[in-house]
Chains A and B, each alone.
Chain A
């Protein structure tokens, strides 16, 4: 209902007073002066602020606002909510653990900072460069971050459900478990349980480089399919037919014993014969080396057997035979042959010489190699025949590392259920239905039984970085159980092991019942010599990459090969003569970098195109060598397409080589291979040494008013006091150093040394703080040139090319910490100065980068940051990767662009040592003083310590007759010194 009600605001309105009307008319009592303002011109124009001013104001206020918006970036640092009581920020924790990636085994101490593993130290055993570098592989961002199904991300629940039911569904055929050699007792047990649940499991073990020859031979000779342990320290004579036991053959622990057995001080020094094709690390360290074609090996071995039986034998072996017969039961004869018959002869020889139970103990065998080629072949044929319902791979990459990889991949198609537990989505994993990524060793629990009676435990040092799960855990889950940790603990406690102590120590011994061996019977058939004039191939593994399972580790990729000194590559090694015959060559381009010609390698149905040729002295005539472990296609950004894959040629004996057009660019950090007759590596023979311990260590003397004095006693200066306090010295024993390069990686890990990549290395800009120089002997010597009356020019030009049968020396060179340092005096800003503890110190943030110090360094050990190597996409390695950066040592600054850096003798370790000593109030113990290189050195060639401490090892070495300063005529008084190399040759 419509209201007509009217409300009045006052009496005036009620009785319609006109004023109300007026008011209503003009609401605003007086007009707003709008028109006056806008209308009146001169008023407007008179206002000083023009449109430009307005824009200025606008601009200013915008700028002001922008500036106000700027603020310093926030760095989030999250404190512990509840601090774990074992972690003190800034103090490292060490955990005993084990590294075993299916190939390399080591019992290690893992150094962690704020819960991050950053360094691997040796514990009970010695390791190698790959073990040292494995800490970086932990932080590899190419690792799988979650389980995959048909190469698509998924979660564990679905994976487990599906896998379990599919496994149960498998009835028309076997479940194959294809693993690396398993040395973990608990895992073996697990696999047993697994087989119990699914009763048709076949477990096949596989070594990337097969040792079936040795294993099968031992099966025949002794009834156990295991390799013996060798005690190279007990042997007086070592005869190795191609076995590179110092680098990659079998175990990586031999080097330690080998060097123990070669101690000139005690006068007991083993005599090492190497009869081989490629120049291996062992060959480089051998006292006598013989170059043979692989096809000759069998014959020579059986001829050697004839020899020691007193029959007629090949004359090349005469000296060896003599020495062996005069050192009965004190020798070791080994061969890298994968042929059972050859190994049977080897066994026979060792038996004949009575080496078993003295230098070779078959009753204490090693478990590290158990791969079985026959089983693998059966598996393959079963797969082809479709008799395999499911396959699970662990720690192996058969699609890459098998000689028959293509065959395997074909056969894989017939398998219904394909599961990989690889850390990476690698060549094999990418073909699988399911990938259940395993933990890295440093994230896992585990145990290991590398050899008879020796055990070690593996414990996680960081919680899993990614959504991965340990293989053992997976097995448990698939057998509807869980918790591998308690399984493991239980397993050992039941065996009466003191769990906590063993876990703390990382290793323990266990009494085991004796192995039942059948008594030895000689089953060897002698082998006739056969002439072959084809070019023969010898496959080898490099120190850096081994079988290539860590291909994506930039540290390893940039670790120069000890022999060829090239990195980021594999290549065809060939002798200069053979190369000339085939019209192949190496040459240096204008900036010194090395180039090589290309060839195609073909063998019956195999071919590799455009393989670079590396001329390497010591290679037997008309033979070639190729390294496996390269040519990965699914390793990750660092490892992909580096070099070529040589695995298909694993069992190939002879190849044909055809030169093709084009050149290849190598990244070799040493472009000059001889010492040019200079007194750089001083060496002598054992006989000489016993006569006169200072033989070969001739020191220049200088005429002074006190008479003739050696350089280190001559000085123009009033010396600074180095006697009080510490005087840190480093001794490097050149006859103990085998050149394995472990120290280089150790140093790189400890000191945050950047990786610079192939191109920069090629430009001679490698950044390693320590390098291991390798020199070949040359056929031309000063004496010879005198005899031949050669001009100096001819002499030097001939000296430049190494001998075809070279003697090899290795010399680790890092900053020599000269006490009269040429680098220090020339720095305009005093960025490098001397400490009163004998260290040459580098102040990075004072350095302006004139590089004068680097020029004036006689050892050329100073490294310049040519570019920004961290956080730079042009150098896309671990320092440009959020995960990779986690490996950085927080105690060492990451150097910026434009500064010089160099070895600091691990000053951070020294400081820590001194602080701890101060806190505990105890004097520093000699054993505690360690640099990264010294602590990692497997052969104890590098000894670090305080020379002012008169009972320190390094003081003793300083005063040894063998000690000498590198380039001592310069009289720069280094704190680093070397011990002459001693060869045990006539």
Chain B
């Protein structure tokens, strides 16, 4: 049985979207789509799961808030087991709440700092994006104006090619993967 990968190239994102829907409706598995810009509705069409980036951001934010709070509590508030709290301008530093107005700004900044940075790092990590990584895109034009659909097929690809051409693929290239 021959395995191969089809690369269908489209000139317009709407056309691509139609074709994707068509193929999916006929239970063909679309491996990947490469596009120069985000196409709205594509992720649903491809049946991708919701991303959880926002949730991670929230968690990281909470961590940041806690970190800021604890740091200030340890350094500024008097009491056993703390660092060396000092009388600064007579401000009450016996309990955290007494002095909290001066602590709000930095706790807020810590929240944002952690959320933004850790989320971005997670994003790069999940996408395997890092300096020096090479592109996985089979066709360099996908960052310019072409939209590429990647389909792995076993056996006959006649059906698929038909649908693709009918749905307006401008060109179809294929790559054979020999038996392993």
Contact = CB atoms under 8 A, between A and B. Distances in A.
A917 to B, nearest CB: 23
Contacts of B87: 720, 833-836
A728 to B, nearest CB: 15
Interface string B73-102: 000000000000011111110100010001
Given A821-B90, A834-B86, A973-B90, 12 more contacts: A717-B92, A718-B98, A719-B92, A720-B87, A720-B92, A821-B89, A822-B89, A823-B89, A824-B90, A834-B87, A834-B88, A836-B87
Determine the main DSSP class of A at the interface with B: loop
A819 interface: yes
Interface residues of B, number: 10
Nearest to B87: A834
A825 B101 CA distance: 13
B90 A720 contact: yes
A834 B86 CA distance: 7
Leading 3 A-B pairs by shortest Cβ distance: A825-B89, A824-B89, A834-B87
Interface of B: 86-92, 94, 98, 102
Contacts of B86: 830, 833-834
Nearest to A718: B92
B90 A820 contact: yes
A529 to B, nearest CB: 63
Nearest to A720: B87
A836 B102 CA distance: 22
Contact of B88 (A718, A825, A973): A825
Interface string A798-834: 0000000000000000000011111111000010011
13 contacts: A717-B90, A718-B94, A718-B98, A719-B90, A719-B92, A720-B90, A820-B89, A821-B89, A822-B89, A824-B89, A825-B89, A833-B87, A833-B88
A645 B41 CA distance: 95
Contacts of B102: 825
Contacts of A825: 88-89, 91, 102
A692 to B, nearest CB: 32
B92 A834 contact: no
| Interface range on chain A (Cβ under 8 Å from partner) | 10 to 19
A623 to B, nearest CB: 51
B88 A819 contact: no
Contacts of A719: 90, 92
A819 B92 CA distance: 12
A249 to B, nearest CB: 47
A821 B86 CA distance: 13
Interface string A822-865: 11110000100111100000000000000000000000000000
Nearest to A822: B89
A859 to B, nearest CB: 15
Contacts of A836: 87
Point out which of B88, B89, B92, B94 has the most chain A C-beta atoms below 10 A from its C-beta: B89
Of A720, A825, A833, A836, most B-chain CB atoms within 10 Å: A720
B143 to A, nearest CB: 46
Nearest to A836: B87
Contacts of A830: 86, 88
Contacts of A720: 87, 90, 92
A836 B94 CA distance: 14
A717 B88 contact: no
Nearest to A820: B90
B159 to A, nearest CB: 70
Contacts of A820: 89-90
B51 to A, nearest CB: 40
Contacts of B92: 717-720
B104 to A, nearest CB: 15
Contacts of A822: 89
Contacts of A835: 87
A823 B89 CA distance: 7
A695 B136 CA distance: 88
A718 B87 CA distance: 12
Nearest to B76: A830
B97 to A, nearest CB: 11
A835 B89 CA distance: 10
A819 B88 CA distance: 9
A542 to B, nearest CB: 40
A509 B88 CA distance: 53
A973 B91 CA distance: 13
B121 to A, nearest CB: 29
A965 to B, nearest CB: 14
Interface in A708-736: 717-720
Nearest to B95: A718
Contacts of B91: 717, 825
Contacts of A834: 86-90
A336 B92 CA distance: 59
A831 to B, nearest CB: 11
Nearest to A715: B90
A833 B88 CA distance: 5
A604 to B, nearest CB: 65
Contacts of B89: 818, 820-825, 834
B142 to A, nearest CB: 50
Nearest to B92: A718
A554 B92 CA distance: 45
B73 to A, nearest CB: 16
Nearest to B88: A824
A892 B89 CA distance: 24
A825 to B, nearest CB: 4
